[in-house]
Amino acid sequence: MNEEEIGIGVIGLGMGANRCEMVCHTQGARLVAVADINAERAERIANKHNVEWYTDYHCLLERDDVDVVYIMTPSGLHEEMSVEAAKAGKHVIVTKPIEVTLEKADRMIDECTKKGVKLAVDFEQRYVADNVKIWRAIREGKLGKLILGEVRMKWYRSQEYYEGWHGTWELDGGGSLINQTIHWIDLLQWFMGPVETVFGHTGVFAHKIETEDLGAAILTFRNGAVGTILGTTTYHTDSPPRIEIHGDRGSISTSNNRIELWEFTDGYQPEEIPEGSPQNVVEDMVSALKEDRNPRVSGREGRKSLEIVLAIYRSARTKKVVKLPL
């Protein structure tokens, strides 16, 4: 292994198998080992990439050539694995959501801070050029005073999908909001700023699960703007998720992370993204380590969408407006 390369170990090989490919295609990164409790799966993915495999992830943490651990296991296992990784001196990339409770997320953040290792939460839409253009326009005040931000995500998930850990409180932390819609909830808060209040409603309509397959919420932001969130896995296809945002000087809408409408009273056009900007969380972590900076979505940043989702759940339970921070 080239000494300049960052060694990465992936734990959890469902969607994690795809993340192994991402690591292999990233300059400056090298996949060195994988772990999954499913031995057949671990061996198959390891053989494909010619790396070592384990069924006990602690063995992966013992390796000196693992600099970064990429955690792709069910959401309610992220804390345990991140904390163990930090204790072993490894930097951590964790998939979304960061965890299923704020207490667990905080323990991850605290342990990584204490051990001086970086923690990145993988919200992949944060690297999509059109989303970065929107964020820059808003940050530079081009939309003027923000008025409304809307998220709509209507997808399909079968009952079979929910036969394992999905849709359980313990391991998924909820249903369609925390697992699927959270990508766009993260974008909404990134674009619109901190949330002040949440009024939510959730229900289960088309699946036998203990959590929700439909959630809706009205938000207010600290800057006075209003937000709406709609997320469901009861639709009969995966329709393109939409975000629409407007202020008093412009309107933007996106479909599947691509800008569809860009209308500014002063004709402002989006700026091109500088060359060399990270395209995904692995590139981001590699350059964050070289430049000794925080990854784009740090633990604290990745925690924000979890707090909003948990506020929606609390509001749905109590039928009351919930004020943040929780």
Least separation in angstroms between residue 168's CB and ligand NAD is 12
Half-sphere exposure of 245 (CA within 13 A, CB side): 28
Helix (DSSP H) and strand (DSSP E) numbers for the chain: 10, 14
Element (H, E) at 159: none
Least separation in angstroms between residue 289's CB and ligand NAD is 21
Q: Please give the backbone phi and psi of residue 98, each rounded to the nearest 5 degrees, phi first.
A: -55, -45
Nearer to ligand NAD, 197 or 256 (CB): 256
Least separation in angstroms between residue 249's CB and ligand NAD is 33
The widest CA-to-CA distance across the chain, in whole angstroms, is: 59
Please give the Cα distance from 87 to 241 (Å, whole number).
Answer: 38
Sign of the C-alpha dihedral, residues 142, 271, 240, 197? Answer: negative
Of 220, 209, 148, give the one whose Cα is nearest residue 177.
Answer: 209
Least separation in angstroms between residue 190's CB and ligand NAD is 15
Nearer to ligand NAD, 29 or 42 (CB): 42
Please give the Cα distance from 30 to 17 (Å, whole number).
Answer: 14
Nearer to ligand NAD, 179 or 254 (CB): 179
Please give the Cα distance from 38 to 79 (Å, whole number).
Answer: 20
Least separation in angstroms between residue 225's CB and ligand NAD is 27
Nearer to ligand NAD, 91 or 157 (CB): 157
Nearer to ligand NAD, 81 or 143 (CB): 81
Q: Which chain residues interact with ligand NAD by CB under 6 A?
A: 11-16, 35-38, 41, 57, 72-75, 77, 95-96, 122, 124, 179
Residue nearest to ligand NAD (CB): 14
Nearer to ligand NAD, 86 or 146 (CB): 86
Least separation in angstroms between residue 5's CB and ligand NAD is 24
Please give the Cα distance from 184 to 164 (Å, whole number).
Answer: 24
Of 173, 166, 71, 158, give the one whose Cα is nearest residue 121.
Answer: 71
Least separation in angstroms between residue 94's CB and ligand NAD is 8
Nearer to ligand NAD, 79 or 137 (CB): 79
